[in-house]
Amino acid sequence: MLASNLVNHPDATARRRLLEVAGAHLAPSGELLIEWEPPAWFGPWTPGVIVMGAIGDIATELTVHARHGNLMAATVTYVRDERRWSQHFTTRRLTVDDLGQALAEVGLRLQGLFGPGETWVAAVPDG
């Protein structure tokens, strides 16, 4: 399982290596579950936008800093009681075809999308 949208890494070489390593751990009949940021997730957000949300009792705040083509730089802050944790990240917008191609390059095949907003991907060894 690859959680936390790591497959949207802005660097194609890092993304390929991540998928290679994950795929190497699969049995021939195994299935890789990948969390990603689907293309629609990127649509409404422009620099300066702040999106408030929550994950259970943890408040979230996403601040968009920049958009350059398919790249977005942002900071997500998690707040619980008086504790705060922030993470800056840059993420790449991938299409389903982009993801399918990245999987194929490492011997995996896109099996399907699932979950709310299709934010999870199932991939299997190709062959």
Per-residue pLDDT tens for 62-99? 999 999 999 999 999 999 999 999 999 999 999 999 99
Q: Which pLDDT value is given to residue 5? A: 83
**Dihedral (C-alpha) 81, 44, 37, 39: value to the nearest 10 degrees?**
170
Better-predicted residue by pLDDT, 4 or 24: 24
Structure confidence by residue, pLDDT tens digits, 99-123: 999 999 999 999 999 999 999 999 9
Residue 1 confidence (pLDDT) above 90 = no
Assigned CATH for 41-91: 2.20.130
| Percent of the chain at pLDDT exceeding 90 | 92
| Nearest residue to 22 via CA among 13, 12, 31 | 31
Domain boundaries, the chain: 1-36+94-127, 41-91
Secondary-structure class of domain 1-36+94-127 per CATH:
alpha beta
Helix (H, G, I), strand (E, B) or coil at 94: coil
Q: Which pLDDT value is given to residue 7? A: 95
Which residues are CB-neighbours of 80 under 8 A, at least 6 positions away? Answer: 57, 58, 59
